[in-house]
Structure 1
């Protein structure tokens, strides 16, 4: 384990305030113009975040009692800091931001982001990427995992999720609760790809003769001990995110697969009684691509109802698709096309509750980059759609927006870049009437 990466306790952070109702002047960000389109049928308000300027790579998850956990990575001198804050509702935050880990080898990557979640025992779990300190493998990355039993005051010494020590790339992680005091994880694992192209290079063939990128999974208990590790898929897209959701029959994992003919469609698989099913396509798009599109799927679930959203471009025609399932993802209805065209960036995230499926994604054209949102009601009818914001930033630096639903309200977080410096922006969206 790299000794240059050190965990920080609450005491090292200085003056952490008690529960506050606003981010405070030191953490305040310049306001971003966000609003719903007049005909959208949606109400949009700013969600003020207690996040310092310079933050990027957001993650967003819902705790067992409705807490919203927002995490991010922020540059601090020559080191990166992985931090988070907990939202309690009614514009109330649990405390000032807390730091999980900081170090020179903690990786900041626009597409390969850290995650945070809370299990039923109220323990916090967090992972991040770390580069080896030996400098011999500049493109290598290992996945580090830690756990806090006391609301972020103390964090366990991190363990490597991938223990192969091959000096290859690992990442694009999914996490889910696996019982009251354990989690499940799935990740892209490059132990077979030594000598191949790298995840960051989307313009080239990304594995070649050196071996294939795989998807692996494992369970970790409260002592960070692993069990049930398995290879889930022997050949997958090298640099597209994975995602997982808990259905009423257990975890459902989705990811971008890769065939021998370079077809890069979305596959899904269930974990049942400790074993993964054979992966099945969510839909046969037939997208043939010889490089990595850096655009993975997203999944949300509410009981047996499941929604999967993804970017694809068969015949060089970009489209954002949404497929829904009534049986926990065993079968999917034919997808609907949410958005399309050359301006479509994808980078989609999806959230689901008992009333609707929510999506957020990015577009970019000559006028700039925009954050888009759609709500598909379970009762049917046309979706409610809106442009949430026009960004100052362009390209990859704006990363992936995130969305979560709490009490019928969608909370959205995204990265903008203003005067060359990233910042996080938040919005709250609810249906009108």
Structure 2
């Protein structure tokens, strides 16, 4: 196997102790550059064999990009980047994140957004996908997610493996059963090698420009979380679930009554995970004391614990469960150093019940690092990837957390 050029090597080690001010004691070294060519939009997932797939958008020049991914069999080193040749119409957007998913059948599906400006919405986009049935050697012609001509705006999607081994997808769509502001939330699933089929609207109204998450629990429940629009002006996080394999979904319930009144979109969506104590959520709000928050539900989303503040400066939170049930939460946050603006990646550990253990910062205060993503590995390890700026260009870096 060929390996990518590595500038520096990093290992981050968790310890169970924390200082008196709540800071975790972590040992951190330099991070790893996944590609020497500028890029953005990192995403992490695993295949059915437990291999890690790290995908990103590589910048060809100032006006064109292509979707790439690399594979790790050990959680430490990655293969040479694989280009997805059908993705040349990709429009990089860290919130409308390009993604790749590996089905147990061996099929790979790459998904990305493309611009589709029109008189109704100059920011509209379309979702395209391409399939590979030979481990990424060749890729099918790119297909549009939906062929319904009434749909001119499909964005902010998420994908997950369903209990039957097919891939599920949710996305925000202009099609809705009302003239009120907002998007509809749609769900579809793959049908073998035939791609995504049988789309259905499962909720509305949704904030038009925040990422969504599709999550499958250990009992096969299909969860969707998104930023909703309530009473035409409140933009809070909503949760719905299907317990009948996607045939029907519950009515939306707010994970927290933040009551954020906003005539716009913050471009920061929610995240969720599960352990034996229940469901756990992280999100950003600008209401009241703005910032990132955390909550849990022990009854499958029927009710939620009071919101617990994570960071008043944080945004773009991502949450995962370690193999021992502990929760790891990461986010990016703005910081001022000598009157200059930077961004850093922060991390917080929470116990199985969601109680805060402590936090630390994974990148230096004098860097610009943003949009962290996570994937859990065996033995309480986690792989973290993020976008880092150097000389006014973005690059993808990753590090392991033990």
The equivalent of 1:72 in structure 2 is: 56
Q: Aligned pair 1:230/2:215, yes or no?
A: no
- What does the per-residue CA deviation read over 1:334-359, in whole Å, with 9 as the maximum and x for residues that have no partner? 2321112xxx1411111113421111
- In the comparison of the two structures, how many residue pairs are matched? 386
Residues in 2 aligned to 1:146 and 1:189: alpha-carbon distance in whole angstroms: 20
1:29-428 equivalent positions in 2, closer than 5 A: 29=7, 40-46=24-30, 48-77=32-61, 78-89=63-74, 91-93=76-78, 95-101=79-85, 104-132=88-116, 139-166=123-150, 168-191=152-175, 211-249=181-219, 250-273=221-244, 274-302=247-275, 305-315=278-288, 317-340=289-312, 344-353=313-322, 354-367=324-337, 368-378=342-352, 382-390=356-364, 399-407=370-378, 408-428=380-400
The structure-2 alpha-carbon separation of the partners of 1:143 and 1:379, relative to structure 1 and needing over 3 Å to count, comes to closer
Greater mean alpha carbon deviation, residues 120-129 or residues 102-111: 102-111
Stretches of structure 1 that go unaligned for 5 or more consecutive residues are 1-17, 194-207
Question: How far did 1:419 drift?
Answer: 0.9
- What does the per-residue CA deviation read over 1:215-257, in whole Å, with 9 as the maximum and x for residues that have no partner? 1111112323444421122211010110122112322111100
The structure-2 alpha-carbon separation of the partners of 1:59 and 1:352, relative to structure 1 and needing over 3 Å to count, comes to same
Does the CA contact (< 8 Å) of 2:8 and 2:30 recur in 1? no
Stretches of structure 2 that go unaligned for 5 or more consecutive residues are none
Question: How far did 1:41 drift?
Answer: 3.2
Question: How far did 1:134 drift?
Answer: 9.9
Q: What secondary structure, in the 3-state scheme, does the structure 2 residue paired with 1:314 have? A: coil
The structure-2 alpha-carbon separation of the partners of 1:327 and 1:47, relative to structure 1 and needing over 3 Å to count, comes to farther
Question: How far did 1:294 drift?
Answer: 0.9
Residues in 2 aligned to 1:322 and 1:136: alpha-carbon distance in whole angstroms: 36
Residues in 1 aligned to 2:151 and 2:344: alpha-carbon distance in whole angstroms: 37
Residues in 2 aligned to 1:118 and 1:47: alpha-carbon distance in whole angstroms: 26
Greater mean alpha carbon deviation, residues 184-193 or residues 215-224: 184-193
Residues in 1 aligned to 2:274 and 2:327: alpha-carbon distance in whole angstroms: 9
Residues in 1 aligned to 2:88 and 2:365: alpha-carbon distance in whole angstroms: 29
Does the CA contact (< 8 Å) of 1:54 and 1:74 recur in 2? yes
Greater mean alpha carbon deviation, residues 277-286 or residues 102-111: 102-111
Q: Give structure 1 regions of 4+ aligned residues with deviation exceeding 6 angstroms.
A: 30-38, 133-137
Question: How far did 1:140 drift?
Answer: 2.9
What is the TM-score of this pair, normalised by structure 2? 0.86
Q: What secondary structure, in the 3-state scheme, does the structure 2 residue paired with 1:405 have? A: strand
Q: What secondary structure, in the 3-state scheme, does the structure 1 residue paired with 2:50 have? A: coil
Residues in 2 aligned to 1:102 and 1:419: alpha-carbon distance in whole angstroms: 30
Does the CA contact (< 8 Å) of 1:120 and 1:180 recur in 2? no
The structure-2 alpha-carbon separation of the partners of 1:252 and 1:87, relative to structure 1 and needing over 3 Å to count, comes to same
Question: How far did 1:60 drift?
Answer: 0.9
The equivalent of 1:6 in structure 2 is: none
Q: What secondary structure, in the 3-state scheme, does the structure 1 residue paired with 2:241 have? A: strand
